[in-house]
Amino acid sequence: MGVMLNDTYVQLAFGSLIMLVSYVLLRRVKYLKLKEPPLVPYKYPIIGHTNDFYKDNKNFIKKCHAEYGEIFSLFVFGKVITFVGKELSCEILKNHKDFSFIEASRENFPFENFLNRPNEFTDTFPKMVQINLSGQIKLYTERVQRQLIKSIDEMIGNGKVLEPPLKFFQFIIAKPIAATMVGEELSDDKELVNSFANVTTDFIPFLSISPVLNFIHPYLHQQVMM
């Protein structure tokens, strides 16, 4: 009886593994359509380019760029990711109707979930900014320039070693952002500027989570981030 149960568990385990492999491969095939960027060949199913990408991504991407051109795709952590060289990256920004920065960001960082809002909550943000700020671009540009110069003078002065540089850049940029969003008077409030400077730092631990669970389904990775 015990032997039969062991055989049953082994069969279930192999069956589950086959179903998982089939599911991942079917997801990959869905993206391989005609006129799509070339997918760089890889040796191992499911794993794809994950090891090469994370072991030495800089040289690996350089090698792929040299062999496959400006646009190519890699199979990393269970999904196809397309890379575009600097010569053509501006074309993607121009074709905003075909390429969505919001959708790409949402895959790795579900911002709406942190705000406890529906998935389409941030979709209207670009249009709202365009409607409300386009007529006052000159005013805001001058304000940002003034606050940026003021921020650089406060943080660097006549010369200072920027160590660590990320912290300095966060505080230098925080002041112009605060001046744009809440006004120049409030942008002199150090506590408020600190809040703007540190807001991105608070999200770094979530962004640094390795997307291993994307092998199974992106939803699982998003739930771990939450």
Closest by CA to 29, choosing from 78, 65, 68, is: 78
Task: Supply the pLDDT for residue 190.
Answer: 82
Report residue 163 as tokens.
Answer: 């160590």
24-38: average pLDDT = 59
Look at residue 11 and tell me whether its pLDDT is greater than 70: no
145-159: average pLDDT = 81
Helical spans, DSSP H, in 48-124 = 50-55, 57-68, 86-94, 101-108, 111-115
More confident residue, 123 or 31: 123
pLDDT confidence band for 3 (50 / 70 / 90): very low
Contact assessment for residue 69 and residue 58, using Cβ atoms and an 8 Å cutoff: no
pTM of the model: 0.45
Sign of CA dihedral 31, 35, 39, 45: positive
Look at residue 170 and tell me whether its pLDDT is greater than 50: yes
3-state secondary structure of 4: helix
Look at residue 115 and tell me whether its pLDDT is greater than 80: no
pLDDT confidence band for 226 (50 / 70 / 90): low
Neighbours of 62 (CB within 10 A): 11
More confident residue, 164 or 32: 164
212-219: average pLDDT = 55
Look at residue 72 and tell me whether its pLDDT is greater than 50: yes
Phi first, then psi, for residue 150 (nearest 5°) are: -65, -40
Query: What is the 8-class DSSP label of residue 75?
Result: E
Contact assessment for residue 187 and residue 178, using Cβ atoms and an 8 Å cutoff: yes
Task: Supply the pLDDT for residue 88.
Answer: 77
- Integer Cα distance of 117 and 226 in angstroms: 13
Task: Supply the pLDDT for residue 107.
Answer: 65
Report residue 148 as tokens.
Answer: 């940026």
List, in sequence order, every residue forming a beta bridge with 32; answer none if it has no partner: none
Task: Supply the pLDDT for residue 5.
Answer: 46
More confident residue, 23 or 86: 86
Contact assessment for residue 213 and residue 224, using Cβ atoms and an 8 Å cutoff: yes
